[in-house]
Amino acid sequence: MTGFSANWLRRREPFDAAARNGALVRGFGAVLGNERRAPRRIIDLAAGSGANFMALAPLIDGDQDWLLIDNDSLLLAAQAEAIARWSRREGWRCRNIDQGLSVETGAGNWHVRAQRLDLGRSTEQLDFAACDGITTSAFLDLASAAWLDRLCGLLTRHARPLLATLTVDGRRAWHPPLPADVRIHDAFQRHQAGDKGFGPALGGLAVNYLADSLAARGYTVSTAHSDWRIGAEHTEMLLQMIEESAAVARETQPAASTLFTEWSEERNAQVRAGLLTLDVGHLDLLAVPETMKP
């Protein structure tokens, strides 16, 4: 996966942290515990700069071995620095080891390795048999039905659980509303359905599609809302969301560029006045195979 800057990923981290569904994370950790292996071996798909590892590792018991997969060399290069900085902030020792990092927390040691891989073309190169579980975050809405079918095949072939967090589900609510919000939203939905390297993206339909597919294969699937709440005090994030929304709308519907520019200017004025908030819908998903049910 490419196209997401490290700055953007850092900016979204506090909103992700506040939105994640803790019950599904605990359920994933419990399933890994039932496997009675140490360290717990986890593959994180589309790992970016490592935020999903940093969010989940403290919530999973014992020693862990993480393999962080991404196709963006810049984000992979940023992982080690981000994890080391996070470890220092938490008071843990982080040191370089062969092919990765070791984070020593006192309650457990976490080994972290990075691998560059084009998931759109080469997901099957990953050895799901050599891991205990799969995670991913803010990714599935970029994937097509065909790619999700491939993922289902790998999961079911090796009976591995999946925790997929913070998948956009298509809901977006600006407060206060404006008449042009509907046009902005429609343009965003069209843009999201484009090919992001995995075929025509399902966007907000991805979680339900994957949930139905895995349930049909005997998985127990749970989903929960994990919505962003962007308050009036989060001015930088609001301004970025406005800019992104207007740019996508102009690209998708260039004939209405003037309307979208006017919408952006009015929204920016609302941010400056402390009057704007935004809710962005996301879903978390936990899928557990029949053989690993607690």
Taking only the tens place, the pLDDT of each residue in 233-282 is: 999 999 999 999 999 999 999 999 999 999 999 999 999 999 999 999 99
pLDDT digits (tens, 9 = 90+) for 30-85: 998 655 567 999 999 999 989 999 999 999 988 999 999 999 998 998 899 999 99
Give the chain's domains with CATH numbers: 6-292 (3.40.50.150)
For tokens 């339909």, what's the residue? 205
Contact by Cβ (8 Å): 165, 225 = no
pLDDT at 9: 78
Residue 126: half-sphere exposure toward Cβ, Cα within 13 Å: 33
pTM value? 0.93
Instruction: Label residue 99 by pLDDT band (50, 70, 90).
Output: confident
What is the C-alpha separation between 184 and 80, in angstroms, rounded? 38
pLDDT digits (tens, 9 = 90+) for 188-247: 889 888 999 999 999 999 999 999 999 999 999 999 999 999 999 999 999 999 999 999
What is the C-alpha separation between 36 and 206, in angstroms, rounded? 32
pLDDT higher than 70, residue 1: no
Contact by Cβ (8 Å): 62, 39 = yes
